[in-house]
Structure 1
C-alpha cells in the first residue's frame, strides 16, 4: 500500500491540519472575548429588569388610577 506524495515528499495533509487548528484557535479566542462580555451584560440586564419591575410596582400602588370613574 502506498501513500501519494507531492513533489516535496509530503502527503499534502499539512495545510488541512493548520486550517483546522486556525479555526479552533479563532473560535476559542472569540469565546474568550464574548463569554465575559455576555456575563457582564447578563448582570446589567438583571439589575435593569429589577429596577423596572420596582418602578412598575410603585406606579401601580400609588398615584391616580386612570380607570376610575369620578364624575360624568
Structure 2
C-alpha cells in the first residue's frame, strides 16, 4: 500500500480539526453557518497569525488575540 498524497493527508487532518471545532462551537451556537465561520476563523488564526506583522494601534498582539478569543467564544 502506498502513502496517500500530502494533499490527502492534509485534508484528513484539517477535517479532523474542523470536526473537533464544530463540536465545541456547536455546544453553544445553534446556527450551523455561524459555527462554520467560527471554525474557519480559528483555523485561519492558528495557521496564519504568525505571518501577520501588522501593528495593532495601542494594543499588543497578546491583547488583540485575547479580544479575538473573547469575541469567538461569546
Normalised TM-score (structure 2): 0.32
Tell me which of the two structures has the higher relative contact order, counting C-alpha pairs closer than 8 angstroms and 6 or more residues apart.
2
Q: Which has the larger radius of gyration?
A: 1
Of Structure 1 and Structure 2, which has the larger fraction of its residues in helix? 2
